[in-house]
């Protein structure tokens, strides 16, 4: 079953540039992973420092493998202490 992820990231004001850089750096290696169907980063037009990832993974296993990759682990560690908010929603399509 395909899994979709919507992750909302709000950077602390003083870390916006570093968070933006980290977000951009994780995109290409993630797109190259087996099972990655879509991996897009969006910036909120109304709120500075707010970003939304929209991801589609071919399976739960593919998503779990993504979360274990070296580049994702490095990415997660690089965000520690730099965020106001992180909300991750795992979704399945109904219609």
- Where residue 63 sits, what CATH number does that domain have? 3.30.70.100
Q: How many CB atoms lie within 10 A of CB 4?
A: 16
Q: What residue numbers bound the domain in which 38 lies?
A: 3-91
Instruction: Convert the pLDDT of each residue in 5-46 to its tens digit.
Output: 999 999 999 999 999 999 999 999 999 999 999 999 999 999
Helices (H), 6-83: 16-31, 60-68, 70-79
Looking at residue 12, what is its pLDDT? Answer: 98
CA dist 65 and 83 (Å) reads: 24
pTM (predicted TM-score): 0.93
- Into how many domains does the chain fold? 1
pLDDT tens digits for range 44-91? 999 999 999 999 999 999 999 999 999 999 999 999 999 999 999 999
pLDDT on residue 48: 95
């Amino acid at each position: 079953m395909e899994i979709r992820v919507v992750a909302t990231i709000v950077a602390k004001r003083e870390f916006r540039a570093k968070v933006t850089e980290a977000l951009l750096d994780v995109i290409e290696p993630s797109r190259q992973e087996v099972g990655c169907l879509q991996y897009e980063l969006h910036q909120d037009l109304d709120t500075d420092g707010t970003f939304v990832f929209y991801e589609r993974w071919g399976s739960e296993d593919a998503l779990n493998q993504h979360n274990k990759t070296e580049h994702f682990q490095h990415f997660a560690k690089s965000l520690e202490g730099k965020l106001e908010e992180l909300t991750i929603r795992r979704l399945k399509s109904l219609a």
